[in-house]
Amino acid sequence: MAPIKLAIIGAGPSSFYVASRLLSLLPPTSPRHSAINIHMYDRLWAPHGLVRYGVAPDHPEVKNCTNKFDGTAKDPRLRFFGNVNVTTTAAASPIPHNLSLPFSSLLQNYTHLLFSSGCTIPTLHPALPPSDRCVPALSFVHWYTQHPSVADKPPPPLERLEHVSIIGQGNVSLDVARMLLTPPSTLEKYDVPNNVLDVLRKSAVKHVSIVGRRGPLEAAFTTKELREMMNLEVASMEPLDPGLLLVPEGEKLTRQQQRTMQLLQKGSKNKPGSTPKTWSFEFFRSPTHLAPAPEDTKSSAYPLSLTLAHNTLSETKRAVPTGASSTLRTSMVVTSLGHHGEPSAWYDSALGHIRTVGGRVVNEHGQTLRNVYASGWAAMGARGVLASTMMDAYAVADTILSDAFPGEFRKDDGDALGSVVPLGDVSKSAEPVLAGSVTSPDSPPAEVVRGLEDGVVTSYEDWKMVDAEEVRRGEVCGKERERMGWEEARRFLQAKCGDSVAQS
């Protein structure tokens, strides 16, 4: 069988878990050890995707997986190319300093392809078009994690906002609420850029409403995130209507539902009326309209009027309007309704992600594409946590190897590698879209080689130098790290390169 030269689009957790699994199954003792080379591409100049640019700063333990990724990146069979936007459509990159790499270049230079680019587009609410006072939660998250796509955008005007309404009751909603309600003096020890802390110190936010179309038993947040909200230092939860905490007769609760109800019944650590900031859950409410508020004494601090339809649950647990409605005065609306993938090759708009069967990409006719795969959110949609992402990635890696070297890989217990049941019929694959073989198993496309020479494309070695410097700068001011943006990182790397040349 021909060697594998695999291009991975994306450098987040799923990408690294796939690479780690592939390389570990082909160790130095394996006769196939040199039969694989992996090139990982990301439009972000730094690796790790949502771990760097999505995890809440006060959850540093979630980032421990990067230690495993660092170990994987030491394998010379893996190379990372950052700041590269693989263009599968005519759409421009949201990051202006990216090197643009035509999709056709990957197809010509690799024998295998893995889409692992996540879900990067926020799902919007039809009644709440984006504006300067209605923004997706992703924009807020990108601001406080210094995502390259928002480098030139102004920060949220927190100094003018007293009331923020968040639409959606998942973990991201609670992350945003927690960032708004946690004292900057607490956040400053974490991975929060100093310019973000400066904005938070000027914040006028006094209350956060977290709106959901269904009730507490259907809410998507985890008990861990809810407990953190209950334990906020200077904020308290407004009491809930006791009727919301009644369990329908005959309904059996899961363990998580039981814990959620117990936490809601107990309430926040700080009693209502004892804190300068407050927050509330607005259950069984759906936004239907957002408009400027009437002119009155509250209009400057609460310039928006958010109309909410009241809901009940159908027998199938769907939110059904009751016909009643109410109005919520607010300063800003943040929508947190999930994410979907970007339109690309073999993307299915109805699914919101790439069409796959058993990890293998299929075309619009249902035919499996030979040697083309997808993993993580790119293949399943925006759901699951790191543990489920890892298990999915391992299964896809097993499928790649079982397709490439059929019959060669067995576990010690005799089971098929990874216990993957092939769901796609590879024998009926569509015409190949990738090069059947390559002459340079370790060389990236010519555009990327030039980008490396010009300092536009970053390597993992570049990232580790930046990583060490960010941690060093953070130690100086007593925090986890102090982040660099692209321009600062590029200047730093150019200076390091110059120093290395001078020393040699």
The model's pLDDT over 364-390, given as tens digits with 9 standing for 90+, comes to 888 999 999 999 999 999 988 899 999
User: Could you say which of 3.50.50.60, 3.30.300.30, 3.40.50.620, 3.30.1180.20 is the CATH number of the domain covering 124-337?
Assistant: 3.50.50.60
Domains 4-120+340-445 and 124-337 share a fold: no
Q: Is 169 annotated as a binding residue?
A: yes
Percentages helix, strand, coil for the chain (3-state, rounded to 5) are 35, 20, 45
Q: What is the model's pLDDT at position 451?
A: 97
- Residue-range domain boundaries for the chain: 4-120+340-445, 124-337, 459-504
Q: Is the pLDDT of residue 427 over 80?
A: no
Please check if 214 is assigned to a binding site. yes
* pLDDT band at 345; cut points 50, 70, 90: confident
Residue located via tokens 């035509």: 102
Q: Which two tokens stand for residue 272?
A: 């209502």
Q: Does 171 show up as a binding residue in the annotation?
A: yes
**In the numeric block, which tokens belong to residue 388?**
């489920």
In this prediction, residues 292-301 reach a mean pLDDT of 80
SS3 (DSSP) at 162: coil
Token pair 């993307």 is found at 347
Q: What is the DSSP letter of 424?
A: S
Asked if the model's pLDDT at residue 58 lies above 50, the reply is yes
CB 179 within 8 A of CB 229: no
The number of residues in the chain equals 504
**Residue 420 pLDDT class (50, 70, 90 cuts):** very low
Pick the CATH number of 4-120+340-445 from 3.40.50.720, 3.30.9.100, 3.40.50.2000, 3.90.15.10: 3.40.50.720
Helices (H), 267-426: 377-380, 386-404
Cβ neighbours for 504, distance < 8 A, ≥ 6 positions apart: none
Average pLDDT over residues 424-435: 65
172 marked as part of a ligand binding site: yes
Top-confidence residue, 12 or 419? 12
Tell me what pLDDT residue 424 has. 43
Is 286 or 496 the better-scoring residue by pLDDT? 286
The pLDDT, as a whole number, for residue 499 is 63
Tokens for 224, please give them: 């861990």
Whole-number pLDDT of residue 411 = 41
Determine whether the annotation assigns residue 50 to a binding site: yes
